[in-house]
Amino acid sequence: MGTRPVIIEGELSLAREIGYMVPAKAVRVEAYCSTANLGAGFDVFALALNKFVDRVQVRTTNTRTITIKARGPFGRELPRDPNKNSAGPPARALLDKSGLNMGIEITLEKNVPPGLGLGSSGATAAACTQAMNNLLQLDLSSDELVQTASIGEAAVSGTAHTDNVGASLLGGFVIAYGKPLRTVSVKPPAKLSVVVVSPKTRPRKNKTSLARSLVPKKIETGNAVLNVGRASAIALGFARGDLDLIGSGMEDAIAEPHRESLVPGYRSVRMIALAAHASGVAISGAGPSIVALVDKTKHDPKKIGRVMVREFSKNNVESTFFVTGPAGAARVIRRE
Ligand code: HSE
C-alpha cells in the first residue's frame, strides 16, 4: 500500500465534499463463528458456522485513541482494554497503517458465546478487521486481512493463530497456511450439516492458552506423516464435495491426544457418533465443544446429536447440542 496523506479531522467534511478519498464515518460488519482444526488440520483448517454472528461497528473520532464498547448477550464478559480484547490490536495496526491522524470507537455486539471452542475471539477480530479495512479504504487482500485479524487472537490466547479468523473472514472451509501466510476458501458441499455438542465443563480462564500449552512443541515424524495424509484427504474432500473423504481425515495425531483430558468422555462420544453415521468427528478448536460432520441427505443430524448427548451423560457429563451448517464470509452491513 502506498503512503497516504494525513488528513486532519477538521478537513474531513470538506475533503468528502470535493470527492477526495477519505474514510467513511462508521462501518458495521458481521462475522460468523467457526470450528477450527477439523482433526488433522491443527491451526490450519477451519469452517465458518451459520449459528452465532458477532457485529462490530467502527467509527472515526478525533481523540486519537481506540475505545471499546460492548453489548449483546456476551458483551458484559469482554475486556474493554483494547490490548486485551481481540478487536483492539487489529484496529490499532490498521489505523497506524492508514497514517490517518484520528481515533476509533469500536462497538461490539457480542453474540458468539466465549469459551465453547467456536472461535468467539476470532469472530470479533475478523469483524473488526474487515470493518477497519472498509472504513479506512485499505483494500487489503484476503491474506492480509487474515494475518491482521490474527494479532487479535494473540492478545487473547497468546498465539496469533489464523484458522478461526480465516473462516470468520472468508467464510466456508478455509485453509490458512505457510509463511508468509496464504489463505484459500472453498464453498462446502450443500449436503453438509454440522452437529455441535457442548459439554458443560468447568469454565476455565485462558482456556485456549491452556489447551495450546498441552500440545507438544515437537512431534514425531510418524505423527506428522499421519496428519499430512489426513489433512490432504480433508482438503481434497472439500474440493470434491466428498463428505466421506473429509471424514476419513478427521483424526488428529498432534493436538487431540494431548487435549482429550479437557473433554471427559470425548473418545466414547466420538466412537458413538461415528457408529451413528457421522462422517467425521473432532474437538472444535481448543474445545470443549465437539463437532460431527453429517451428510444430511442420508442421516438425521439431530438424531446423531441426541446420541452424542446421551453418551456424554453416560460419562456423567451434561451437554447440549445444536445443528447448523456452513456460513459465508464477513460482510459489511452498514456504511455511513
Ligand atoms: N487452532 C486453535 C487451537 C484454535 O486449536 O488452539 C483455537 O480456537
Q: Which domains does the chain have, with CATH numbers?
A: 22-187+327-335 (3.30.230.10), 192-324 (3.30.70.890)
Task: Tell me the whole-structure pTM to 2 decimals.
Answer: 0.92
In angstroms, what is the span from residue 22 Cα to ligand 1's centroid?
37
In angstroms, what is the span from residue 43 Cα to ligand 1's centroid?
6
Q: In the prediction, which pLDDT does 11 show? A: 53
Q: In the prediction, which pLDDT does 129 show? A: 98
Name the CA radius of gyration of the chain, rounded.
Answer: 20
Residues 6+ positions from 257 with CB-CB distance below 8 Å: none
**Residue whose CB lies within 8 A of the most ligand 1 atoms, among 47, 49, 157, for a mutation test:** 157
The answer to whether the CB of 85 falls within 8 A of the CB of 104 is no
- Collapsing DSSP to helix, strand or coil, 218 comes out as coil
Amino acid residing at 215: V
- The CB of 208 under 6 Å from ligand 1? The reply is yes
Q: Whose CA is closest to 196, among 299, 291, 118, 284?
A: 291
- The CB of 292 under 6 Å from ligand 1? The reply is no
In angstroms, what is the span from residue 284 Cα to ligand 1's centroid?
8
Buried b / exposed e over 58-81, threshold 16 CB at 10 Å, is: bbbeeeeebbbebeeebeeebeee
- For ligand 1, atom 8: residue with the closest CA: 285
**38 vs 277: CA distance, rounded Å:** 17
Q: In the prediction, which pLDDT does 97 show? A: 95
In angstroms, what is the span from residue 211 Cα to ligand 1's centroid?
8
Which residues are catalytically annotated? Answer: 153, 208
Q: In the prediction, which pLDDT does 113 show? A: 96
Q: Write down the residue that cell numbers 472515526 correspond to.
A: 60
- The CB of 161 under 6 Å from ligand 1? The reply is yes
Q: Hey, how many other C-beta atoms are within 10 angstroms of the C-beta on 282?
A: 29
In angstroms, what is the span from residue 23 Cα to ligand 1's centroid?
34
- The CB of 38 under 6 Å from ligand 1? The reply is no
- The CB of 251 under 6 Å from ligand 1? The reply is no
The counts of H helices and E strands in the chain are 11, 11
- The CB of 37 under 6 Å from ligand 1? The reply is yes
- For ligand 1, atom 6: residue with the closest CA: 286
Residue 98, all three cell numbers: 492508514
Which atom of ligand 1 is nearest the CA belonging to 46?
Answer: 1
The answer to whether the CB of 326 falls within 8 A of the CB of 186 is no
Q: In the prediction, which pLDDT does 331 show? A: 98
- The CB of 86 under 6 Å from ligand 1? The reply is no
pLDDT along the chain (336 residues), means of 10: 45 53 83 98 98 98 93 93 96 95 96 96 98 97 98 92 98 98 98 97 81 94 98 98 98 96 95 98 96 98 98 96 98 94
